[in-house]
Amino acid sequence: MRPELEATAERVFVALADPSRRSVLAALAAHGPATATDLADRLPITRQAIAKHLALLADTGLVIAEPGERRRVRYRLDSAPMQVAQQFLAALSRDWDGPLDALRRHLDG
């Protein structure tokens, strides 16, 4: 995998390591675009903490900030970085499949 794609995958894995950020992403996936205030109403996380998580998720590219009415920013999911992480895992899995199959054949033989 190209270094820039691997770096994207790494940022996604770091972002997903935090359960609060996973909750924010799950809420956006379930309910669509939302403001930090909307998310604070749905989750057991303060609005300030959600804003910090959204900033990191935006830096990672997992969410996109869109201007809304009355200067409120709405966040929506962007699946492109997640797809890069999935491709990284698929490539890693392919790299493991051959040696694991060879080991299995050796142990069965």
Whether 100 shows a pLDDT value over 80: the answer reads no
Question: Which tokens in the block code for residue 63?
Answer: 């969410």
Secondary structure class of 67 (helix, strand, coil): strand
pTM: 0.82
Q: Which H or E run contains 49?
A: helix 47-60
As to burial, measured by CB atoms within 10 angstroms (0-12 exposed, 13-18 middle, 19+ buried), residue 96 is exposed
The residue length of the chain stands at 109
pLDDT at residue 98, rounded to an integer: 75
Residue 24's pLDDT is what?
A: 98
Q: How confident is the model at residue 59 (pLDDT cuts 50, 70, 90)?
A: very high
Lowest mean pLDDT among 13-17, 24-28, 59-63, 104-108: 104-108
pLDDT digits (tens, 9 = 90+) for 79-99: 999 999 999 988 888 777 777
